[in-house]
Each structure stands twice: as C-alpha cells, then as structure tokens.
Amino acid sequence: MTSAALRKIERKPVEVQAIEALREAIVDGTIPAGERITEINLSSAMNLSRATLRSALHQLAQEGLVTLVPYTGWRVLKLGPQDVRELYTLRAALERLAAQLSAGRLDDAMRASLEAAMDALSEACAAGSADEIAEADFALHKAIVEAAGHGRLRSQYRLIEQQIRMYIRSSDALLAGGAEIRAQHVPIVEAILSGDPELAGRLSEEHNLSEGRKLSDHVAAAAG
C-alpha cells in the first residue's frame, strides 16, 4: 500500500448512474417539471442504450418523479397543491415514527450524528445562505430517519425525499428566519436525546405539519 489516500473510483453499474443523474436533473430543474421526455432522446443524449435508460426511468417512476403513458412517452412530475398536501402529511407520519424509534434506542454513534447535524443546522442558521439552511435542515431530518435503524422506513422516506426537495426548491424562499428555524428543531432533538419517544414523536409531527401547511398555503397563494 504505497498511497494512503487514493481517490476511490466510481464503480457502479451504468443503470444506477443513470438513475442518479436523472433524479438530480429533475429535482434541480435541469429537466423542467411537466416536461415530456422520450426514451430515444434521453438515451442518445446520455450515451447509453434505450433498455438501460428505460429501466432507470421505471425506477424513477416508482419514486413518483416521472410517469409513463403507454406508447406515447414519459412525463416528469409537476407538483400541485394536492401533491404538496400529500407530501407533508406523509412526511409527518414517517418522521413521527422515526423520532419515536430514535428516542427509544439511543446509541453513542447516533447520538453523535444527531448532535453533529443539529450543530451544522445551528451554524447554517447563524451565518448561512438560504440554500445552505435548507440543506442543513433537510440533513437533520434525514439524520433522524437514519438513526431510527429501520430499513423499510428509510426506503419509504427516500421515496418521497426527492419530491420534498422539489417543492422546497419550487417555493424558493424560506418562510422563516434562521433563528426561528433553529428554535423549531432544538426541542425535537432534545426530546430524542433525552430518550422520550412520546414527546419526540409528537414534536416532530407537529413541526412537519405546521411547516408543511405554511408551505402549502404559500404554494397555493403563488399558484392561484
């Protein structure tokens, strides 16, 4: 072993690379919402075969990012008010379970990761851009889900994660200031770290529901 720090080379199947590239493009708006896309165009543009791309599109379809209309083409998800409602209610239900479970099985490693995520959010709230705050916010929520140690919960959360990012991005402005955002999350993390599942779950759910409702109203107002 001559070199201590060699850059790891990516060794993923082309298919998962395609999935990730497409997901990113859709979430960050490179491919506009509501756009109609065809397999043959994308496959040539991404330099891979139709069969591979098709498989990737099917996976994204199960994540809800694209829909297939038979023999006519694919269409990327366009979020409406109903979608936003669905997303934040579902997110609240899943994160409530995550917070309950995390509080119920405390562990040095997860304690450390939660504290790190909370610190990062505090720092971002104090002196970060809106994008950085949103990212740290999201990272904390995700850390809670990871700490639950629940594989299926993690999978299901991942399914709606990308769509949540889309609507956070679509309502480009944060609705609350940095200090307020930090104040909203501190009690949740404290409840988890103190090992109180009941309280942690309730706080987490309330936070998601109230923030989701705000965002939903904001989107509805902007749309109509």
Q: Which does 152 bind (CB under 5 to 8 A by kind): its own copies, DNA, none?
A: its own copies
Closest CA to 195 of 104, 99, 97, 118: 104
Which residue, 159 or 176, has its beta carbon nearer to its own copies?
159
For residues 16 and 10, the answer to whether their CB atoms sit within 8 Å is: no
For residues 205 and 217, the answer to whether their CB atoms sit within 8 Å is: no
Among 14, 33, 106, 153, indicate the residue that binds its own copies (CB under 8 A). Answer: 153
**Residues 70 to 109 in contact with its own copies, rule: CB under 8 A:** 70, 86-87, 89-90, 92-94, 96-97, 101
> How many angstroms separate the CA atoms of 17 and 93, rounded?
31
- Identify which range of 27-35, 57-65, 125-133, 135-143 contacts its own copies by CB under 8 A: 57-65
> How many angstroms separate the CA atoms of 125 and 127, rounded?
6
Which residue, 54 or 111, has its beta carbon nearer to its own copies?
54
Integer CA distances (angstroms), 162 to 24, 57, 66, 193, in order = 9, 15, 12, 27
Q: Which does 153 bind (CB under 5 to 8 A by kind): its own copies, DNA, none?
A: its own copies
Positions touching its own copies (CB under 8 A) are: 13, 51, 54-55, 58-59, 62, 64, 70, 86-87, 89-90, 92-94, 96-97, 101, 150-153, 155-156, 159-160
